[in-house]
Amino acid sequence: KERARVSCSLPEPSWEERLANAVTPLWRLPYQEQLQVKYESQRKILQTLASRLEELGADAQKPGGLCCPLQPVVPSPVINGYRNKSTFSVNRGPDGNPKTVGLYVGTGRGRNIVCVKANHVENIPSNHKQVAQCYEEFISHSPLDSCILFHEGGHWRELVVRTTSCGHTMAIITFHPQQLGQEALATQKALLKEFFTCGPGAVCALTSLYFQESTMTRCSHEQSPYQLLHGAPHIFEELLGLKFRISPDAFFQVNTAGAEVLYQAVGELCQATGDTVLLDICCGTGTIGLSLAHQVSKVIGVEVVEKAIEDAEWNAAFNGISNCEFHSGKAEAVLPQLLASWEDARPLVAVVNPSRAGLHYRVVRAIRNCRSIRRLLYISCKPEGEAMRNFLELCCPPEPRKKLVGEPFAPVLAIPFDMFPHTVHCELVLLFTR
């Protein structure tokens, strides 16, 4: 007899579930289990690094097959709604509405992108969701279309919301001008300002409202200036007893409470004494260097974003910190010049906190070839990516062909920090010495 076939197919997940699974894939797990998942992923990364270093002829294997001891993941003090910066896209929603403000599910390659409202996403705070909802209401009543594909026209694009523990909220709206003239642009800016100051958007109580005309996916302030439509030009954050000014495009750790824990640990790992010089590479608004300035004789910060350097200099002056100097420019251009002529006898400790793209090869080479740097802290949000290449370049035996002639570093300690609860990501601090 043929057995009756019983369908065991599970119901299709809702769009909300799909978005939560894409953006916060660990959201169903209790927090302690999330930390364990992250610990295991960091352990595999250190095992990979140990194997790669061994292939290069470096003395790398330690107990457990790791390149160095791995401490437990340091938990985030805040688990839900911790993000101080959120980026919302504008695109077609599950219902076909082309003016949906939310986050993407799907891929461009698969041509199945859908923009889903993020009201239920656990790592985004409620005030960010409120601004996104208001922006959607505004563009839904606008006669102008959303800009889904640049070549097909349309104007309304993404929204960035930044908030601080001081209660400040900054909104940055990106707009594709297409063929609009200055008068038409001025009208749109006036309508936006009116909506968020006198209309339904006033509930957001924005500290700053910015507008950026952009014909590219991403634009820096230098490429297309941020135009302040309303409020103060900056928002302010307090961290480890210091006050920090934040510009629209300045880097600031996305989890403020987690950043405090991270920077305190970095201060301890630096083992800085009163005569130490701290080299803060990819320094952003100067948070790491300024928070450690009281421990060292001097801080030298390097950062590519010009506005962030302006913020760093303001932050130093406002907090009465006079032993810091900041250099604006690409680290690969600034650092080699800075270190090539380094003759200071004081101990030099380097802290690097690059983007996911890692450090430029010339930066690694400058660090490696500077004899004065004996201790290096590498903070990576994606250690399995380009940062891995940096680790190998720092620790491999000397390679004159690549001009890596300095004594190699060795990893001696790894500490993961959970800056991104509910996601698979971790901030890994690797201490290198030589």
Annotated binding site: 253, 303, 353
Return the H-helix or E-strand segment holding 290.
helix 287-292
The angle subtended at Cα 391 by Cα 381 and Cα 257, nearest 5°, is 25
Contact call for residues 283 and 250 (beta carbons, < 8 A): no
Query: If residue 325 lies in a helix (H) or strand (E), which one and from where to where?
Result: strand 324-328
Rounded to an integer, what distance in angstroms lies between the CA atom of residue 171 and that of residue 336?
37
For tokens 């990979």, the residue is 48
Q: Angle at CA 428, nearest 5°, toward 68 and 253?
A: 160
Burial (CB < 10 A; 0-12, 13-18, 19+), residue 142, is middle
DSSP 3-state of 169 = strand
Helix H or strand E encompassing 102: strand 100-105
CA dist 356 → 40, 136, 335, 348, 353 (Å): 20, 30, 19, 25, 9
Check if the beta carbon of residue 409 is closer than 8 Å to that of residue 394: yes
User: Out of 67, 134, 370, 381, which one is annotated catalytic?
Assistant: 381
Q: Tell me, what amino acid is at 146?
A: S
What is the rounded CA–CA span in Å between residue 118 and residue 376?
Answer: 39
Please state the φ and ψ torsions of residue 299, each to the nearest 5 degrees. -120, 130
From residue 357, alpha-carbon distances to 160, 360, 366 in Å are 22, 8, 18
Q: Is 370 a catalytic residue?
A: no
Q: How far apart are CA 12 and CA 42, in angstroms?
A: 32
Within 180-321, strands assigned E span 208-213, 227-231, 235-239, 242-246, 277-281, 298-303
DSSP for 354-413? --TT---HHHHHHHHT-TTEEEEEEEES-TTTHHHHHHHHHHSPPBGGGTB-SPPPEEEE
CB atoms within 10 A of CB 268: 9
What residue numbers does the annotated binding site for S-adenosyl-L-methionine cover?
A: 253, 303, 353
Active site residues: 381
